[in-house]
């Protein structure tokens, strides 16, 4: 039961993070597109990223939110795995920019944009770790529940 509470807390953190960033980017889409167009890695696909990333962040948040109200363990798994993939990609992007680029336009919105690049790397690394921890705990809980059901 303790494992499930930790997974709920981590899921809640991702819900807040992805709803906040996704909605903020959608509300300030022109600024987000402008920042993406200046990114050395994304300048050729900035339009596609600008129109797909915010809705994707919101969708992942919904995958994590719905299981709080309706028993949908598959949605939670999709949300946790999607969170880990997105955070890994974001973290690798920041790591690349820090290691190899001096021109670093900020594509984040709101409070998160107030972080410097190193703080952002630490933040993303922590959230990436939390995503993998939640997947591990969730899978462990799922296996225990499956074994209990098989014995019943």
Q: What is the pTM of this model?
A: 0.88
For the chain, the domain total comes to 1
Of 25, 38, 21, 42, which Cα lies nearest the Cα of 105? 38
**pLDDT, position 106:** 72
C-alpha to C-alpha distance for 83 and 101, rounded to whole angstroms = 26
Residue pair 52/96 in contact by the 8 Å Cβ criterion: no
C-alpha to C-alpha distance for 53 and 148, rounded to whole angstroms = 39
What is the chain's Cα-based Rg? 17
**Structural domain span for residue 134:** 2-151
Tens of pLDDT along the chain (152 residues) come to 566 899 999 999 999 999 999 999 999 999 899 988 988 888 899 999 999 999 999 999 999 999 999 988 889 999 999 999 999 999 999 999 899 877 777 767 667 778 888 999 999 999 999 999 999 999 887 666 655 544 44
């Amino acid at each position: 039961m303790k494992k499930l509470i930790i997974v709920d807390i981590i899921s809640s953190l991702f819900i807040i993070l992805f709803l906040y960033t996704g909605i903020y980017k959608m509300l300030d889409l022109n600024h987000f597109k402008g920042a993406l167009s200046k990114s050395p890695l994304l300048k050729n696909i900035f339009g596609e990223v600008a129109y797909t990333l915010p809705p994707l962040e919101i969708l992942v948040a919904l995958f994590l939110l719905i299981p709080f109200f309706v028993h949908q363990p598959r949605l939670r798994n999709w949300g946790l795995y999607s969170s880990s993939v997105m955070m890994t990609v974001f973290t690798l992007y920041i790591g690349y920019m820090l290691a190899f680029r001096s021109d670093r336009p900020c594509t984040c919105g709101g409070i998160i944009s107030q972080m410097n690049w190193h703080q952002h790397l630490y933040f993303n690394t922590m959230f990436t770790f939390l995503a993998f921890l939640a997947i591990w705990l969730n899978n462990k809980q799922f296996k225990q529940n499956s074994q209990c059901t098989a014995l019943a």
